[in-house]
Structure 1
Amino acid sequence: MKTKTLPKLAALVAGSFCLLCATPASADSTWSLSGSGCSSPTGVPANSGYTSGNIGCTNGGITATIGAWANTNSSKFAQTKLYNWGSNGFGIVSGTEVSGDTGPHAADNYGNLEGFLIQLSGSMSLSQIVIGWDGNDDPANTGGVSYNDADISIYRWDGGVGNSPTFGNETAASLNTNSWKLVNHLQNGGNNPAGPGTDTINLSGTGSSTWWFVSAYNSNANSVKAGYTGDTNVDAFKLISIGGKTPGVPEPGTLALAGLALFGIARSRRAAR
């Protein structure tokens, strides 16, 4: 009788742990830069203005603070201006650019490197980016420059829990040597089919952090990532939203069932003695 009880309890334990495995592994959040959960800074009406402020978006209890940053040649990064293009996404206006001159006013790498610095209020993996207009889908030729590609570099901050990067001390080259890690390089806007429209790029294996930098292709990436082949095209894209995942916690009922099974097998072993 006792020998029959042990296999039954063992099966119960196995079933409990299978339920644990079935528990969702992560919780998803999406932050749309122009969505209802975002507090866009003053002066960013769609298609008509730009601002040097950040955008704060809250979803799933996590706030994403997003700002535009750019450098010039080998100089250090500085915060610059976001430009709201409505359904085409948010672009960047930096350096001597103004809202009325030529150029797509996207995140690009013509003359400097532009990108979106993202701070999350909790550590998450970056699981998705959605881009609107990009040079791969809809090339733009303005001011004698052909914006005809959309390679994107994604960096994760690995500077330690509770620490914050001093991004104004970074250059395009130092991103590959300090506490920033290149985790993904998306060629041609994530190899989405050509043609105007919104592109959703799903990511995996990015690791977790509270700080991210999503930029036009950084040519310095070639020195630290084997197999990444850059080109001389001008990359440009506009950002609509980002998505993140955070590790989930098993449901209380599942934990209770597993605990009950372990308690039962412990009692059975005592009785078997």
Structure 2
Amino acid sequence: MKKSKLISQLALATAMSAASLAPQTASALTTWGNGGCVWSGDMAGNLCTIGTGNAKVNVTAYGTTDLAPVQGWETATLMNYSGGFGVKNRGTNDPGEGTNPEHAIDNNGNNGTAGGFITDALLFSFEQSTILRNLTIGWKSGDADISVLRYTGQLPPVLTDKTPSGLLSSGWQLVGQYGNVTTNTNQAINASGGASSWWLVTAYNSAFQNKGWTMGDDYFKLLSVAGDQPPPQSQTPEPASLALVGLAALSLGYARRRRLPR
């Protein structure tokens, strides 16, 4: 075999290997909305399951409360309305909770701390790592200032009894805060394209980052979130393995020819 032909075959095998090891493209944008729920339970700690397989997500509700011993996150009741998901929290200093407009995701009510507000949240627990791209609200009253966080730890997160600021020191990362979101419009989020299996959508809380926005007047119902799920990457895809074997065989053949007497 001529040296130039051998080099061409080596280059082809290397290109095949590189192509098969290249990152796979993400799947098309998927929307998870309140209309596709399978419900489990009807009290605090209940959940809604949307989708199947790798696209499955469980939605649960939380609210910061004034319950002892910690004035932090506790399980709440996930509510479902035509305008989207709402939350009924367990704060005793929130007498209007569960009635209009406090049947929504909101930051009304005093949690007993200086300047503290009871804040509602939705936790999205995906079957696999997901890149959320936008969210849509179907109803609001007053402002609709929204905070979005993603979990960067390895183990499933535990929210119970943690304060809002405590989340940021326990594996949660603030993705962004979005002011006065418009109803029935895709609100772009997560400009950095971060991925996680756990996402938290809350009414604005200045403990995450103080934007100078008012608290206590944010009420909204979350209609849907949308994003994509990059396919799992295998360490050595089969086509790459075959190409690497071919590359090794060609290299060995070339080395043997060089050692043969002429």
Pair in the same fold by TM > 0.5: yes
User: Match for 1:259 among 224, 244, 253?
Assistant: 244
2:34 matched residue in structure 1: 33
2:103 matched residue in structure 1: 105
**Counterpart residue type for residue 168 of structure 2:** N
1:75 alignment partner, SS class: coil
Equivalent pairs counted in the alignment come to: 239
Q: Does 18-27 or 150-159 show the bigger shift?
A: 18-27
The percentage of counterpart residues that share the same residue type is 26
1:270 alignment partner, SS class: helix
* Cα contact 1:34–1:40 (8 A) shared by 2: no
Query: In the alignment, is residue 128 of structure 1 matched against residue 133 of structure 2?
Result: yes
C-alpha separation between the residues in 2 aligned to 1:116 and 1:92? 8
2:170 alignment partner, SS class: coil
2:73 matched residue in structure 1: 77
With the length of structure 2 as denominator, give the TM-score of the two structures. Answer: 0.73
Cα separation, partners in 2 of 1:125 and 1:79, compared to 1, 3 Å: same
1:24 alignment partner, SS class: coil
C-alpha separation between the residues in 1 aligned to 2:45 and 2:137? 21
1:46 matched residue in structure 2: none
Query: How much does 1:272 deviate?
Result: 4.6
2:218 matched residue in structure 1: 235
C-alpha separation between the residues in 2 aligned to 1:72 and 1:181? 22
Q: Which has the larger radius of gyration?
A: 2
Cα separation, partners in 2 of 1:204 and 1:17, compared to 1, 3 Å: farther
2:40 alignment partner, SS class: coil
Query: How much does 1:170 deviate?
Result: 0.7
**Counterpart residue type for residue 152 of structure 2:** D
* Cα contact 1:32–1:241 (8 A) shared by 2: yes
| Structure 1 residue runs without a partner (length 5+) | 44-49, 141-146, 224-228
C-alpha separation between the residues in 1 aligned to 2:165 and 2:50? 30
Query: How much does 1:84 deviate?
Result: 1.3
Cα separation, partners in 2 of 1:188 and 1:21, compared to 1, 3 Å: farther
Q: Deviations over 1:86-112 (max 9, x none)?
A: 2x211122243454x331622122231
* Cα contact 2:148–2:175 (8 A) shared by 1: yes
Cα separation, partners in 2 of 1:261 and 1:216, compared to 1, 3 Å: farther
* Cα contact 2:61–2:87 (8 A) shared by 1: yes
Cα separation, partners in 2 of 1:2 and 1:213, compared to 1, 3 Å: same
Structure 1 residues 130-145: aligned runs within 5 Å: 130-135=135-140, 140=141
* Cα contact 1:52–1:68 (8 A) shared by 2: yes
2:149 matched residue in structure 1: 155
1:214 matched residue in structure 2: 201
**Counterpart residue type for residue 183 of structure 1:** V
1:68 matched residue in structure 2: 61
Query: How much does 1:12 deviate?
Result: 0.9
Query: In the alignment, is residue 16 of structure 1 matched against residue 16 of structure 2?
Result: yes
* Cα contact 1:89–1:131 (8 A) shared by 2: no
1:226 matched residue in structure 2: none
Query: How much does 1:54 deviate?
Result: 0.8
